[in-house]
Amino acid sequence: MKIAVSGKGGVGKTFIAGGLAKGFASRGLKTIAIDADSSPNLAMTLGLKAEEARKILPITENKELVDSKTSTGYSGVYRLSFTVDDIVKQYSVPTPLGVNLIVMGTVQSMGAGCMCAPNAVVRALLRHLIVEVNEAVVMDLEAGVEHIGRATARQVDALLIVADSNLKSLEIAKHIYDMATVAGMKKLYLIGNRVMNDTQKEAIQNFAEKNGLPLLEFVPFDQHVIDADMRGETPLLHTEILSVQTIDNICETLIQKLKVP
């Protein structure tokens, strides 16, 4: 099962992605989480301490790794064909929540775009993880719409678009939905996050119905999540938190919708 999580910056997509990865792992699925955000912080959401997270070198910044895969010995000329299965084994980081994490760094595009060596490695690794690896993969995409391409994106089983009740985030969600539809993605779902009251819930629901966005679930706002983040702790360890429970339920819903055995 391959799930990508997208949305406007600041709507809580990393919290959703981390919760999904934890939920799949707790159900016995071998799970890889990919942090493809240009400002990566999925590590702490998955239970690593701040100092541990800071030590993780993103794939795009690992010059030795990139050179080992792409260098031909000639300046400005590099290989486009290489294996990446060893990267998963050597550069994924185990987390306290039972999820292996790979920090990609900035992804220019999932399918096309910049042909520089680091992004060639990233594209090959994404293709390998999404197409070839027989594990659950949860990818926290970069905020915005630039990551929706026409190649690897089609291989994702579902794209979850996270938004809150702010009209700006809902408009970005619609833009992502429209682009993903054009890119050939079939399973697209909106998640309303940080919902504080019925008014916000209705705003998200009305927007979704008006614009044809399939609404998957509402995740309630919870001050305990904010408090845990302020302490540098992952809220995902606190299973009594309603929002954490809701995300776990989303895992079950996705398993049923995608018919995962």
CA distance 49 to 114: 33
| Torsional class of 259: left (φ above 0), alpha (ψ -120 to 50), beta (otherwise) | left
Model pLDDT, residue 120: 82
Least confident of 97-106, 121-130, 182-191: 121-130
pLDDT exceeds 50 at position 150? no
Looking at residue 152, its amino acid is T
Taking a C-beta distance cutoff of 8 angstroms, is the pair 155, 131 a contact?
yes
For 3-61, what is each residue's pLDDT tens digit?
999 999 899 999 999 999 999 999 999 999 999 887 889 999 999 999 999 999 999 88
The percentage of the chain sitting over the pLDDT mark of 70, rounded to a whole number, equals 91
How many domains does the chain divide into? 1
Model pLDDT, residue 112: 45
pLDDT exceeds 90 at position 210? yes
Least confident of 40-49, 57-66, 227-236, 252-261: 252-261
pLDDT exceeds 60 at position 73? yes
**Strand locations in the chain, DSSP E?**
2-7, 31-35, 71-74, 77-78, 93-94, 100-103, 136-140, 158-163, 188-195, 215-220
Whether the model pTM is above 0.85: yes
Range with the largest mean pLDDT of 66-70, 75-79, 98-102, 156-160: 98-102
Q: Give the 3-state secondary structure of residue 159.
A: strand
CATH code where residue 244 lies:
3.40.50.300
CA distance 109 to 105: 12
Model pLDDT, residue 130: 85
CA distance 176 to 199: 24
The percentage of the chain sitting over the pLDDT mark of 90, rounded to a whole number, equals 66
Q: In this structure, what DSSP letter does residue 129 have?
A: I
> Structural domain of residue 68, as residue ranges?
2-257
Q: To which residue do tokens 């293709």 refer? A: 127
CA distance 22 to 31: 8
